A and B are shown apart, each in its own frame.
Chain A
Amino acid sequence: MALKIVKGSIDRMFDKNLQDLVRGIRNHKEDEAKYISTCIDEIKQELKQDNIAVKANAVCKLTYLQMLGYDVSWAAFNIVEVMSSSKFTYKRIGYLAASQCFHESTDVIMLTTNQIRKDLSSPNQYDTGVALTGLSCFVTPDLARDLANDIMTLMSHTKPYIRKKAVLIMYKVFLKYPESLRPAFPRLKEKLEDPDPGVQSAAVNVICELARRNPKNYLSLAPLFFKLMTSSTNNWVLIKIIKLFGALTPLEPRLGKKLIEPLTNLIHRIYLFFSQILHHLSAITLVCFSWLIAFLFFITVLISLSSGMPNHSASIQLCVQKLRILIEDSDQNLKYLGLLAMSKILKTHPKSVQSHKDLILQCLDDKDESIRLRALDLLYGMVSKKNLMEIVKKLMLHVDKAEGTTYRDELLTKIIDICSQSNYQYITNFEWYISILVELTRLEGTRHGHLIASQMLDVAIRVKAIRVFAVAQMATLLDNAHMLTGNTQRNGICEVLYAAAWICGEFSEHLENPMETLEAMLRPKVATLPGHIQAVYVQNAAKLFATVLKSQEGNTDSTTAQEASQLMIDRLPLFVQSANLEVQERASCILQLVKYIQKLQQKDVEVSEEVCALFAGELNPVAPKAQKKVPIPDGLDLDAWINEPPSESESEDEQPKAIFSKEEPKHSRPRHTEVDEKELARRREARKQEQANNPFYIKASPSSQKVYQETPGVEHIPVVQIDLSVPLKVPGLPMSDQYVKLEEERRQKERAEKKKKDKKKRKEKRSGRGKKHDSGPESEEDITPAHMVDIVTEEMPENALPSDDDERDPADPHKKSSKHKKKKQKREKEDKEKKKKKKHHHHHHHHGDKGGEESVQNGTVEEEEPLPRRLISVMLTFIFLFYSFDRKAYDIQGNLQDGSQVVVSVIFENKCDSFLKSMEFNVLDSLNSKLQRPEGSGPHDSLTIPFQLPPGVSNEARFVFTVQSIIMPQKLKGTLTFIVKNEESSTHEKLDFKLHFTCTSYLITTPCYSDAFAKLLESGDLKSSSIRLEGVNMPFHHLLARICFHHHFSVVERIDSCASMYSRSIQGHHVCLLVKISSQTVSVDAKCDEPTLLGNVLDEIKQTFSQC
């Protein structure tokens, strides 16, 4: 109404507002573009007017046109004009337009700084609000720097409406201007406890986003968040906090312990509520949505925190059970979320998910692609030897049916991931796998030709037994190359030819008809393939040529050999002309070689041997870790700069990024190491990429194979036009399906044979046992590989250290080095037969006498595995001497800092006949105890023991450990690696051990006078506890001596059959004992200011006396 009057009252230039524009566009459906261009001309006219209302109207229309895809950046200055209007109505239009089309490179943004500042301090809260909203979309580093202070002030604005916006926008400011984080953080933290829930939620939001980037720095806020979590009723806040805890708990397991109880309670409660609603309502309504959200994320947190605590399987089990109910639900959203949560559990607790295999397989058939994708993700952990073929067969069916390339590519990568996981652990028949790979090559327009190729190479190189089959398959592939290349040469799948050519060339001795394949490889069509593939073709044609010559050797009729030479000479010139340098070079080189050979052939000279020598030798795969294992030569300092480090100015650019990880000063590291790390990571990435493309490298983990996904792919390039009603069959290629049948038959047969054997045995034994369940499904171990497959082990440098831990990829929980183990076991058996060795356990008690100080050993070494495991009779005796160390600790009372060190003295005794050298000692640090390593070495580096051991010699080495809490005994796992050298050979050996830090070892024998002792007991700070030892058959003074000796106590006073004793821990805990004896029963009443420590010490005392 008002607007109409306005319109009527003045004869305005514009009669078109936004609604008119929209209506106009809808009325000009045929010539929309033309109509809009006239409108833009009108808008341009309007923008030239002085009237701000006209301008604002024009800008409003521009915002709409921007949404339709028209560039409106030319009006940026006018937008700024409208933003600076004093009227809220126009200001809002201006800021909206700015938020839609301004970005960092819009140069007029510079002009807005003062205007925005003015708006931020406007008395009208909505001016401020609108400015904040707009700014959140187009804030630049300059704006962030200039306005950070103003926004920070707004964080304590009186109106919660402004506070909440100011808090939220701070995240954007931090992103653009990281220096602002430090000064703003205290205030941000304060806002976590703001009385207004909106502000609180905004603060939680910001901190969660920050913590996602670098959780470590926000650990200190955990208690605050814990409080918020238990008090907040806002679901949004709750979810964010729970997600935050999910990120924090892996860093601090103690946090998880604290969380587990309230979370489990909540799960039960929420679940109860949820199931009630489910009963009453058929559809999921909004009411329970919020509950569900909370519920699901409790689960995810539980999962992530439980990674630090293995013994919470009950909670996990609970989660998985509830998840199953979600997945079985008819609601697709719940199904999806259930699967999503499952995949999170799978990472830490694969076993608990595996039991729901049926359900996940069922989800694979779901009509919804999102759900199928989730289920696919889970499949990875589901496969076993038994069901691999079946699952892959199912997936292959999906591949055929799949419509979108994204889903099909995902299927393809998953098939390969599943099959190749854990070093092909689940593949029993490699012929089947090769045929699967070959079948996959028929996919139209996949981006993963690369991936298939690398698998083919990997399998052919490493599985010797499969080579004959693989070569035959590859030869057929090469022969049918035209089907793969199609009409476009930028086709992802043609990468497979790279592998095919290489395999045919390298293992050409297995080819049935090398001449034919040679011909296939030299077809003119090859010249249309990408350069790197052509290069492989040329090189491998030469290998094939050598094979042909060799096969014709001794043959009186030399026509075939000469034909081969002629073929090469005829076809190679095509490649010599190639635009690709590599192809050109190889081709011309080989061409000349063949010409020379031809000459020799004409003179009837036997050349095949020389030609073969060109390609002699086996190319073994190199282990991905081989490089790392090459020992660093003496005198080479890899950390030293070769050239001076780059000047400060260069690293300036990197600084802002680093700031997020340097929030707290104590975490900040010297700059150059950080840059170093980045650089290292970059190089590592580059190297991985390189290795991934190199067939001689074995992929470290499936993740590195995913690199291929990033290679730009070509979509929608038809490989072959295939009529789906006709079974897909490249002539001569086997179908993978037949293997499934074969495998089934084979297993049946095996089972039958086994049955027979069993029967025979039973007959022989004539045992009266009941019927055995033969028909039951065979267990995993029963499935033997179809043909003995010897997986070629990876090459390692000569004096590399074999360490099992290293091989295992910590990122992959499913990976088991079972193949490895089996081999080892076999070897062990042989060894056992050769040398029957007894198990040795040496617990030497050593009496050290250091400066009149009595120090006693109570550490023992436990070998993790029985000793016969070792090949050579190396016996090392570890004698551990614990000095509850640092003498200062008991000179300066209460100096806890010094009380955190424990020195472990180890005596190494060489009991074998060989020379031991290069000994390295390493201990897996726990949170509580850490081995002190020289500065600059990483937390997992081992310490080199500074001496060598000739046979029969012993020596002592000392290691310092820092211990935080001493109230609990603990065991540290460690390894000692060393080289055993005798005349014939030198081998690497490894010995696992456990270091047992008893509580007693933290006690120091400290004399105490009886009056001080009495005062201590009177003080009342001490908690008491007591034990009773039965059947002690020794004189009282022996008993006391034993306690003193083994447990570092000193006698304070002794009256008849009663004595008081005292000791102190390195951290200053007092331990007092009152020992009484009456007819073989000893009672020990003890007091200490730390009950846990006391309990443990008493347990250890009990242990000592139970042993005698």
Chain B
Amino acid sequence: MIKAILIFNNHGKPRLSKFYEHFNEDIEQQIIRETFHLVSKRDENVCNFLEGGMLIGGSDYKLIYRHYATLYFVFCVDSSESELGILDLIQVFVETLDKCFENVCELDLIFHVDKVHHILAEMVMGGMVLETNMNEIITQVDLQNKMEKSELLLADKCSFA
């Protein structure tokens, strides 16, 4: 199971937080801060796995992260997930974002966090991996966006009328 998915920047500012277990807001913020603290002090050329956090789930808990330019993508998972699998998933996530936003950068995530959530919802559901095929994910996201657009267009027409 994936316990949480966090995206924050090099200064620890959260860009996306998705918890699959409930915590109240204060604890969520604390988890984000501590995770940032753990991850940010690591060198660039060390491995992408990190143990020893005591935040969620105690000992059966691992951080798997990737650092892209200004952003950290961190997945908090338990032992049922495979480490490289999750790394792969992060890559798929980032590539999907890249396709959906056309050359994604931190600003896209800052201003369109809702869209990032919608994309993520097509990949991970309730802490379990739903889809890993990038084309499938993009197709579904696009179809939903199209639906949204047509609804808005309809709303416009109504309001004009």
Q: How far is the CA of A198 from the CA of B82 in the complex (A)?
A: 18
| A239 located at the interface, meaning its Cβ lies under 8 Å from any Cβ of chain B in the complex | yes
- Of the candidates B22, B121, B128, the one whose C-beta lies within 8 Å of that of A171 is B128
Are B87 and A289 in touch, CB under 8 angstroms?
yes
Sample (27) of A-B pairs whose CB atoms are under 8 Å apart: A2-B152, A6-B152, A6-B155, A6-B159, A10-B159, A63-B114, A69-B26, A69-B28, A71-B24, A88-B147, A89-B151, A92-B144, A164-B131, A205-B128, A205-B129, A209-B128, A243-B80, A243-B82, A293-B84, A296-B82, A296-B84, A297-B82, A340-B83, A368-B46, A370-B47, A370-B50, A371-B47
B82-115 at interface with A (beta carbon < 8 Å): 82-85, 87-88, 91, 110-114
Asked if B111 and A22 sit within 8 Å, CB to CB, the answer is yes
Besides the contacts A18-B113, A371-B46, what 7 more A-B pairs have beta carbons closer than 8 Å? A71-B25, A168-B130, A289-B88, A290-B88, A333-B47, A336-B47, A370-B47
With both beta carbons as reference points, the residue of chain B lying nearest to A407 in the complex is identified as B52
> Is B117's CB under 8 angstroms from A165's CB?
no
Q: Is A543 an interface position by the 8 A CB rule? A: no
A132 proximal to B (CB < 8 A): yes
- Contact among B16, B22, B91, B130 for A202, CB-based, below 8 A: B130
How does the 8 Å CB contact mask read for A297-334 relative to B, with 1 for contact and 0 for none? 10000000000000000000000000000000000110
Task: Report the bound CA distance from A96 to B112 in whole Å.
Answer: 13
Chain B residues lying within 8 Å of A169, measured Cβ to Cβ, are 125-126
Residues from chain B with Cβ under 8 Å of A64 in the complex: 113-114
Say yes or no for A348: interface residue by CB 8 A criterion: no
- Which residues of chain A come closer than 8 Å to B114, judged between CB atoms? 18, 60, 63-64, 93, 96
CB distance from B85 to the nearest CB of A (A): 5
Q: Report yes or no: A208 in contact with B80, Cβ–Cβ below 8 A.
A: yes
Does A68 touch B at the CB level, under 8 Å? Answer: yes
Cβ of A3 and Cβ of B49 under 8 Å apart? no
| Assembly CA distance A371 to B17 (angstroms) | 27
| CB of B11 closer than 8 Å to a CB of A | no
B48 an interface residue at 8 Å Cβ cutoff? yes
Q: Does B49 lie within 8 Å of A209, measured CB to CB?
A: no
Query: Contact: B46 with A370, CB < 8 Å?
Result: yes
B91 CB to nearest A CB, Å: 6
CB distance from A84 to the nearest CB of B (A): 16
A-chain residues with CB within 8 Å of residue B149 when the two chains form the complex: 2
User: A236–B132 contact, CB under 8 A?
Assistant: yes
Specify which chain B residues have a CB less than 8 angstroms from the CB of A70 in the assembled complex.
25
Nearest-neighbor residue (CB-CB) of A234 within chain B: B132
Asked if A236 contacts B25 (CB within 8 A), the reply is no
Q: Give the residues in chain B near A786, CB-CB below 8 Å.
A: none
Chain A contacts of B25 at CB under 8 A?
66, 69-71
From the candidates A9, A136, A340, name the one contacting B160 in the complex (CB within 8 A): A9
Closest chain-B Cβ to A1040's Cβ sits at a distance in Å of 64
Pick the residue among A87, A235, A293 that contacts B151 (CB under 8 A).
A87
* A136-B126, A370-B50 known; A236 vs B144 contact (CB < 8 Å): no
In the complex the two chains form, what is the Cα distance from A169 to B124 in whole Å? 11
Chain A 75-129 residues near chain B, CB threshold 8 A: 87-89, 92-93, 96, 100, 103-104, 124, 126
A126 to B14, CA, bound (A): 28
In the complex, which residues of chain B have a beta carbon less than 8 angstroms from the beta carbon of A161?
Answer: 140
Q: Are A333 and B84 in contact (CB under 8 A)?
A: yes
Q: Decide yes or no whether A414 CB sits under 8 A from chain B.
A: no
Name the residue of chain B whose CB is nearest to the CB of A242.
Answer: B82
| A337 and B128 form a contact (CB under 8 A) | no
Report Cα–Cα, A124/B143, bound state, in Å: 12
The interface size bin for chain B is 35 or more
A1014 sits at the interface (CB 8 A): no
In the complex, the answer to whether B47 meets A335 with C-beta atoms within 8 Å is: yes
In the assembled complex, which residues on chain B have CB atoms less than 8 Å from the CB atom of A332? 45-48
A349 to B127, CA, bound (A): 34
Would B82 and A67 count as touching, CB distance under 8 A?
no
Residue on A nearest B64 in the bound complex, by CB? A333
Determine the distance from Cα of A63 to Cα of B25 in the docked complex, in whole angstroms. 12
Complex CA distance for A93 and B144, rounded to whole angstroms: 12
| Known pairs A89-B152, A293-B82, A370-B51; A67 contacts B16 (CB<8 A) | yes
Q: Whole-angstrom distance between the alpha carbons of A730 and B98 in the complex? A: 59
- Indicate whether A292 reaches chain B with its CB closer than 8 angstroms: yes
Q: Does A818 contact B (CB under 8 A)?
A: no
A406–B52 CB distance below 8 A: yes
B10 within 8 A of A: no
Task: From A103, A136, A235, give the contact of B85 (CB < 8 A).
Answer: A235
Q: In the complex, what residues of B have CB within 8 A of residue A26's CB? A: 110
Nearest opposing residue in chain A for B140, CB measure? A161
**B159-A9 in contact (CB<8A):** yes
Complex Cα–Cα for A590 and B111 (A):
73
- Taking a contact as CB atoms under 8 Å apart, the answer to whether B147 and A209 are in contact is no
List B contacts of A68 (CB < 8 A).
14
Pick from B20, B125, B143, B155: contact of A53, CB under 8 Å: B155
Q: A925 contacts the other chain (Cβ, under 8 Å)? A: no
**Identity of the chain B residue whose Cβ is nearest the Cβ of A300 in the assembled complex:** B82
Closest residue on chain A to residue B111 by CB atoms: A19
User: B111 to nearest A CB, angstroms?
Assistant: 5
Q: Does A367 sit at the interface, judged by CB under 8 A?
A: yes
Query: Across the two chains, which residue of chain B brings its CB closest to A405?
Result: B52
Hey, which chain B residues are within 8 Å of A370, CB to CB?
Answer: 46-47, 49-51
- The closest CB in chain A to the CB of B144 belongs to A126
Q: Which of A53, A60, A370: most chain B Cβ within 10 A?
A: A370
Cβ-closest 4 pairs across A and B = A136-B126, A332-B47, A103-B22, A368-B46
B83-A337 in contact (CB<8A): yes
Contact status of A209 and B91, CB under 8 A, knowing A67-B16, A136-B125, A332-B46: no
A1082 vs chain B, min Cβ distance (A): 61
Q: Which residues of B contact A209 (CB under 8 A)?
A: 1, 80, 128
Report whether B126 and A212 are in contact in the complex, using a CB–CB cutoff of 8 Å. no
Q: A137: CB under 8 A from chain B?
A: yes
Most chain A CB atoms below 10 A, which of B1, B24, B131: B131
Q: How far is the CB of B159 from the nearest CB of chain A, in Å?
A: 6
A286 and B14 CA atoms in complex are apart in Å by: 27
| Chain B nearest CB, measured from A445 CB (Å) | 15
B93 CB, nearest partner CB in chain A, Å:
13
Which of A66, A243, A292 contacts B84, CB < 8 Å? A292
- C-alpha gap A161/B139 in the complex (Å): 11
CB distance from A739 to the nearest CB of B (A): 31
Q: Interface readout for A144-186 with B: 1 if CB under 8 Å, 0 if not?
A: 0000000000000000010011001101100000000000000
A1089: interface (CB < 8 Å): no
Q: Is the CB of B17 within 8 A of A67?
A: yes
Q: A531 to chain B: closest CB distance in Å?
A: 27
Bound-complex Cα distance A124 to B136 (A)? 18
Contact, CB under 8 Å: B156 / A2: yes
Could you tell me if B22 and A104 are in contact, using CB atoms closer than 8 angstroms?
yes
- A165 contacts B88, C-beta separation under 8 Å: no
Bound form: Cα–Cα A370–B24 in Å: 29
**Chain B, 1-38, CB within 8 A of any chain A CB:** 1, 14, 16-18, 20, 22, 24-26, 28-29
- Interface of chain B residues 134 through 161 with chain A (CB within 8 A): 136, 140, 143-144, 147-149, 151-153, 155-156, 159-160
Which residue of A has the minimal Cβ distance to B63? Answer: A370
Decide if B85 touches A368 in the complex (CB within 8 Å).
no
- Verify B91–A212 contact, CB threshold 8 A: no
List A406-420 residues whose CB lies under 8 Å from chain B.
406-407, 410
Considering the complex, give the chain B residue whose CB is closest to the CB of A137.
B126
Interchain nearest-CB distance for A339 vs B (Å): 10
**A236 CB to nearest chain B CB (Å):** 5
Bits for A524-536, please: 1 = Cβ < 8 Å to B, else 0.
0000000000000
Could you tell me the distance in whole angstroms from the C-beta of B151 to the nearest C-beta in chain A?
Answer: 5
Complex CA distance for A333 and B25, rounded to whole angstroms: 33
Q: Which residues of B contact A212 (CB under 8 A)?
A: 80
Chain A residue numbers with a CB within 8 Å of B159 are 6, 9-10
A88 to chain B, nearest CB (A): 5
In the bound complex, how far is the Cα of B25 from the Cα of A133, in angstroms?
A: 21
Q: Does A5 contact B (CB under 8 A)?
A: yes
Residues from chain A with a CB closer than 8 A to the CB of B151 are: 87-89
Whether B125 contacts A168 by the Cβ 8 Å rule is yes
